[in-house]
Amino acid sequence: MGNKPSAVENCLISAVGNDKSLVAGQSTVGYQLSHVKPYNLDIPVNPSAVTYPNTSEQVAAIVKCAVDNSLKVQPRCGGHSYANYGIGGEDGSIVVDLKNFQQFSMNKTSWQATIGGGTLLDDVTKRLHDNGNRAMAHGTCPQVGIGGHATIGGLGPSSRMWGSALDHVEEVEVVLANSSVVRASEDENADVFWALKGAGAGFGIITEFKVRTQAEPDKTTLYSYGIQAGNAQDKATAFKKWQKLISDPDLSRKFASQFIMTELGVVVTGTFFGPQEEFDSLNISSRLPDADESVVVLDDWLGVVGHWAEDLALELAGGIQSNFYAKSLAYTKDDLIPDAAVDTLFKYIDESDKGTLAWFLIFDLEGGAINDVAPDATAYGHRDALFYHQAYAVNLFGHVDDTIRNFLTGLNKVVTDALGHDLGAYAGYVDRALGDDGPSKYWGENLKRLQQIKKAVDPQDVFHNPQSVRPEA
């Protein structure tokens, strides 16, 4: 801190037991680089302070400081928000970094795990594995934190079998806007629990999760098909075959798949949670275009999850700060892209000035167990999603320019124009360009109830970012 801490800084220092090392303010040396650490370098944010509490009571005291000084609050776990909402998304907020919340235990009767709110997915995987060879559904980037991931959705390769990450959450300890520390579950503070499972950052700071776990699969088959597609029409044909494959209502829930397009070409890749003989019986290769096929079978679960992380790193994402822009769309079984529109889409991609060579488009199969849960059972807004697409572009040489933005915006427009209606967006791929329409795209018909709960538990909108849920008027 500077030589003369402000009243807010003094309050925060007191909140964390007078340990000045647990509070960084704007006058702290290296504040932006070492404490703010924006994930998307294209969106500068300057919070009032970043705090590193050790206990739930300290979190509560920090929230009270913010309220008493009319400041907004946002929790941060991995800090992977595409629009830096984990650092508030706006100047002047208080950031509660949960990195010190690393508690873990496993009930070996119920196989329910207790996980600290600051745990990164890499550590979640390892701790579950080390305590009974257990697992849960979550995404593939090891540096993402469970705090944001399991309160916004949390989609990954095993989600078709086990549901989203938030579907594993059975109870939480959460700090509310009135500085109370409460437990929330389907039986206790049920409205808060409902809201936290899909829109968490707008309702509280979760310091502890209790989650159901699954036994690790014995054998896992990793597959990759490098599609021989040289021109736009070949790529369109490949996508049509993939879309037909993944829209088969009888497709095994053990089968996860991505259609990935980059400057280098097209790859269909994914995981089958079973032995190769069972995978081979699906005849996947015969349902795709000619391809360079690679199939690897692993019986080491940590190796499987590590492979996912390596794949993702190759596609430019992961834990690296950069100047980037991303957009997404959520497709239901009724939103399959017509063949003519697929042709138009891949022609658009082929002919557009993208403004960068560092771009990718991922179509990611969902469905399965995620769709089993009723649309209004949790706040998560896309229970009917069969697949998503995420388009992502990085400017390696500075800020994202209009050429890059226009490429990604136009890509989405080709799809929505063809389908004749708007599609939802995944809140985990937050998109500031959606502006005030963001919440309705993220949470759909659940938004109204979220606004009502927000009015009841956070009427002053303490837990705030530019597109979080606002209290009902």
| Spatial separation of the C-alpha atoms in residues 315 and 328, rounded to whole Å | 16
Q: Is 25 exposed, middle or buried (0-12, 13-18, 19+ CB in 10 A)?
A: buried
More confident residue, 307 or 382: 382
Spell out the residues 6+ positions from residue 246 whose beta carbon is closer than 8 angstroms to its own: 257, 365, 367, 386, 387
Arithmetic mean of pLDDT over the chain: 94
Where is pLDDT greater, at 227 or 455? 455
3-state secondary structure 340-382: HHHHHHHHHHHHCCCCCCCEEEEEEECCCHHHHCCCCCCCCCC
Q: Across residues 62-91, what is the average pLDDT? A: 96
* Structure tokens that stand for 341 in this block: 């529109």
State the pLDDT at residue 318.
55
The confidence score (pLDDT) of residue 4 equals 66
Instruction: Note the pLDDT tens digit of each residue in 232-289.
Output: 999 999 999 999 999 999 999 999 999 999 988 899 999 999 999 999 999 888 898 8
CATH no. of 104-216: 3.30.465.10
The pLDDT score that the predictor gives to residue 299 is 85
CA 44, CA 60: separation in Å to the nearest integer? Answer: 27
- Tokens matching residue 150: 């399991």
3-state secondary structure of 271: strand
Q: Residue 314: what pLDDT?
A: 46
Whether residue 319 is predicted with pLDDT greater than 80 in this model: the reply is: no
For the segment 206-216, what is each residue's pLDDT rounded down to a tens digit?
999 999 999 99
Q: Is the pLDDT of residue 1 over 90?
A: no
C-alpha 140/C-alpha 308 separation (Å) is 6
Mean pLDDT of 46-62: 98
Residue 297: what pLDDT?
Answer: 87
User: Which pTM was predicted?
Assistant: 0.95
| pLDDT (mean) for 157-180 | 98
Tell me which fold the domain 220-438 belongs to.
Vanillyl-alcohol Oxidase; Chain A, domain 3 (3.40.462)
Average pLDDT over residues 439-467: 98
Q: Percentages helix, strand, coil for the chain, rounded to the nearest 5?
A: 35, 25, 40
Q: How confident is the model at residue 227 (pLDDT cuts 50, 70, 90)?
A: confident
Same fold, 7-97 and 220-438: no
Q: How far apart are the first and last CA of the chain?
A: 39
Q: Which backbone phi and psi does 339 adopt, to 5 degrees?
A: -55, -45
* 290 pLDDT tier (thresholds 50, 70, 90): confident
User: Strand ranges (DSSP E) for 104-250?
Assistant: 104-107, 112-116, 134-135, 169-175, 181-185, 205-212, 214-215, 220-227
Write out the two tokens for 192: 């808060």
Residue whose C-alpha is closest to residue 200's, from 247, 164, 162: 164
CB-based contacts of 406: which residues, under 8 Å, 6+ apart? none
The residue ranges of every structural domain in the chain are 7-97, 104-216, 220-438
Give domain 7-97's CATH architecture: 2-Layer Sandwich (3.30)
- 132-150 burial by CB neighbour count: b if 16+ within 10 A, else e? eebbbbbbbbbebbbbbbb
pLDDT at 316 over 60: no
Q: How far apart are CA 310 and CA 27, in angstroms?
A: 38
- The 10s digit of each residue's pLDDT in 171-191 is 999 999 999 999 999 999 999
Please name the helix (run of DSSP H) or strand (run of DSSP E) that holds residue 235, with its range, or none. Answer: helix 232-246
